């Protein structure tokens, strides 16, 4: 799932209505509760104004202003998501510090030239099995197949493989969890 999500382009707020590809709609406005995000508040204000219940002063009319607010909202949403992700990763690391040495089952959620990212079945915690921690071999990375294959052994590790791992180290400051393969 992580690979799929990372391959998608990031959503951005825009002044132009580009519709919604997935829903096959030519006109689309995403909004939820106006207390959650500023763009939602702007959409509610625009609808309110368009229905004739608002006054000109309570809606931003200028295209340049709408474009500026769209860019600002997109940038701020990215910052908020990054901050939320950072806190989530730190809390998972703090929690996993007490599990160093423990063994868990998990699923390969990402494959890179430097190792395997494994998401534990327990608590949606992700960590890395570094390529140097794989059984003695030189591993070739296939980015298309999301696979590491041992040159001599032919042993391969790929996306969605089930693995058993041990928590080897946790760094809260770096927000990283290192696993080692248990065979």
**pLDDT given for residue 23 in this prediction:** 75
Q: How many helices (H) and strands (E) does the chain have?
A: 3, 8
CB 121 within 8 A of CB 106: yes
Q: Of the CATH numbers 1.10.8.60, 2.30.110.10, 2.40.50.140, 3.40.640.10, which one belongs to the domain with range 100-181?
A: 2.40.50.140
Q: Is the pTM of this model over 0.85?
A: no
Q: Along the 183 residues of the chain, how does pLDDT read in single tens digits?
A: 555 555 555 666 666 777 777 777 777 776 655 556 777 777 777 777 777 765 655 555 677 888 888 888 889 889 989 999 999 999 999 999 999 999 999 999 999 999 999 999 987 899 999 999 999 899 999 999 999 999 999 999 999 999 999 999 999 999 999 999 998
Q: Where are the beta strands (DSSP E) in 28-171?
A: 103-112, 115-120, 126-130, 139-142, 147-150, 156-158, 162-171
In the chain, what are the domain boundaries? 11-95, 100-181
**pLDDT given for residue 109 in this prediction:** 95
């Amino acid at each position: 799932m992580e690979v799929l999500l990372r391959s998608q382009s990031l959503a951005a707020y825009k002044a132009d209505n580009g519709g919604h590809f997935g829903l096959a709609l030519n006109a689309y406005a995403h909004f939820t509760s106006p207390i959650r995000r500023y763009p939602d508040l702007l959409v509610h204000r625009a609808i309110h104004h368009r229905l004739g219940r608002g006054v000109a002063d309570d809606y931003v009319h200028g295209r340049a202003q709408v474009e500026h607010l769209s860019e600002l909202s997109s940038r701020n949403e990215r910052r908020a998501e990054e901050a939320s992700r950072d806190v989530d990763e730190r809390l998972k690391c703090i929690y996993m510090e007490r599990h160093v040495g423990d063994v868990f089952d998990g699923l390969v959620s990402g494959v890179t030239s430097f190792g395997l990212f494994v998401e534990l079945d327990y608590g949606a915690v992700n960590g890395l099995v570094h390529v140097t921690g794989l059984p003695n071999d030189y591993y070739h990375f296939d980015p298309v197949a999301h696979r590491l294959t041992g040159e001599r052994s032919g042993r391969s590790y790929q996306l969605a493989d089930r693995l058993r791992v041990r928590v080897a180290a946790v760094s809260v400051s770096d927000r990283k969890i290192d696993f080692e393969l248990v065979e």
